[in-house]
Amino acid sequence: MNATFRQLRLFLALSEHQSITAAARACHVTQPTVSMQLKELADAVGMPLYEQIGKRLYLTEAGETLAQSARAMVDEWSAFEQRINGLKGLTRGRLRLAVVNTAQYFVPTLLGSFYASHPEIDVALELLNRDAIVARLRDNRDDLYIMSMPPEDIELEKHAFLPNPLVVIAPEGHPLTGRRRLTLQHLANERFIVRERGSGTRMACDAHFAEQGFVPKVRLELGSNEAIKQSVAAGMGLAVMSRHALAADVTQDQVAILNLAGFPIQSRWWTLYPKGRRLSPVASVFLEHIERTARDWYAQRQR
């Protein structure tokens, strides 16, 4: 079976973008070139690698198997290039980072300082909901992943690098703001705006409420922290949210944090990757950087 490295890269782009046109654009080649190279690759394999249903492309079973092998080969070659650069005294390469949406409030800051120290490293950042990040993790598509609730059914190497306190917020001027010694029973008649099922915040919140025997009255489920903050500020209900998703001075978000027993719920942010995966030199450098700089960022935010 003969296949070129170029064909494997084009096929990986197809599996990523599910479109010949998008794969061509990502690889900076023409669409006919992609079609021809993928046809030659399918002929070499001896089986169809993808099929088109309507306007979408889907990998066949042979295609899925090839994508896994191709990804491992490309990753290994990339790691080899980075090691050679390291022997030459250079730090350059590409980091693929997949991050859950809520981490958008601090990851750009940590990336900024990383770029300043390592300007020759390119970062491909995927910002998605937790379910999408877990799917990428299962497929081993990125170098590192950042989330607050790692899946328990995957063997992982995990590094806790930042506290993730979850707080209850209410609109400014709400009757419960400023009161002390509140309990969940004081919230029995309140409406809640919650994250979508599957999000890390929702999972931690549901687990805490179940442990306390509290069933919130849910008014809305939203997939955006910004939409939740605006809904709370508009007086539509209360919400449980990562403290990192709020301004240092929460009055800027027109909300208040309730002084509620059992809160903040204490969780953590994790950097993780599949157990047994050998980190590239670039990924190792970033892992060390984020663990060091996150502590400083959090300490400054607490002042």
Q: What is the C-alpha separation between 148 and 195, in angstroms, rounded?
A: 14
Task: Name the average pLDDT for the chain.
Answer: 89
pLDDT at 90 over 60: no
92 CB burial (10 A radius; 0-12, 13-18, 19+): middle
Please compute the mean of the pLDDT values over residues 111-133 and round it to a whole number. 88
Where are the strands (E) in the chain, listed by range? 50-53, 56-59, 93-100, 121-128, 144-147, 156-171, 191-195, 217-222, 239-242, 255-257, 265-274
Q: Which amino acid is at 286?
A: F
Which residue, among 65, 31, 29, has the nearest Cα to 48 in the 3D structure?
65
Q: Distance between the two ends of the chain, CA-based, in angstroms?
A: 62
Q: How many CB atoms lie within 10 A of CB 195?
A: 28
How many angstroms separate the Cα of 81 from the Cα of each of 68, 121, 145, 213?
Answer: 20, 13, 22, 54
- CA 197 to chain CA centroid, Å, is 16
Which residue, among 168, 171, 166, has the nearest Cα to 232 in the 3D structure?
171
Q: Could you read off the pLDDT of 9-55 as tens digits, one per residue?
A: 888 888 888 888 888 888 888 988 988 988 888 888 888 998 888 77
215 CB burial (10 A radius; 0-12, 13-18, 19+): exposed
pLDDT at 89 over 70: no
- Out of 1-5, 80-84, 268-272, 295-299, least confident range: 80-84
Cis peptide before 32 (omega within 30 of 0): no
Q: Per CATH, which fold does 164-267 belong to? A: D-Maltodextrin-Binding Protein; domain 2 (3.40.190)
Three-class secondary structure of residue 74 per DSSP: helix
Q: Locate 206 and state its tokens.
A: 């549901």
Q: Per CATH, which fold does 5-65 belong to? A: Arc Repressor Mutant, subunit A (1.10.10)
Structural contact between residues 262 and 212, judged by C-beta atoms closer than 8 angstroms: yes
Q: Where do the structural domains in the chain lie, given as residue ranges? A: 5-65, 71-162+268-302, 164-267
pLDDT bin (cut points 50, 70, 90) of residue 122 is: confident
Strands 255-257 and 239-242: unpaired
Residue with the bigger pLDDT between 169 and 284: it is 169
Per-residue pLDDT, 1: 67
Q: Could you read off the pLDDT of 176-198 as tens digits, one per residue?
A: 998 888 999 999 999 999 999 98
pLDDT at 242 over 80: yes
Q: Per CATH, which fold does 71-162+268-302 belong to? A: D-Maltodextrin-Binding Protein; domain 2 (3.40.190)
- Per cent of the chain over pLDDT 90 is 49
Task: Spell 136-172 as b/e; 16+ CB within 10 A means b.
Answer: ebeeebbbbbbbbbbeeeeebeebebbbbebbbbbbe
pLDDT at 81 over 80: no
Per-residue pLDDT, 4: 86
Structural contact between residues 84 and 73, judged by C-beta atoms closer than 8 angstroms: no
Question: Which residues are registered as beta bridge partners of 168?
Answer: 240
Q: Locate 56 and state its tokens.
A: 């979408």
pLDDT at 276 over 70: yes
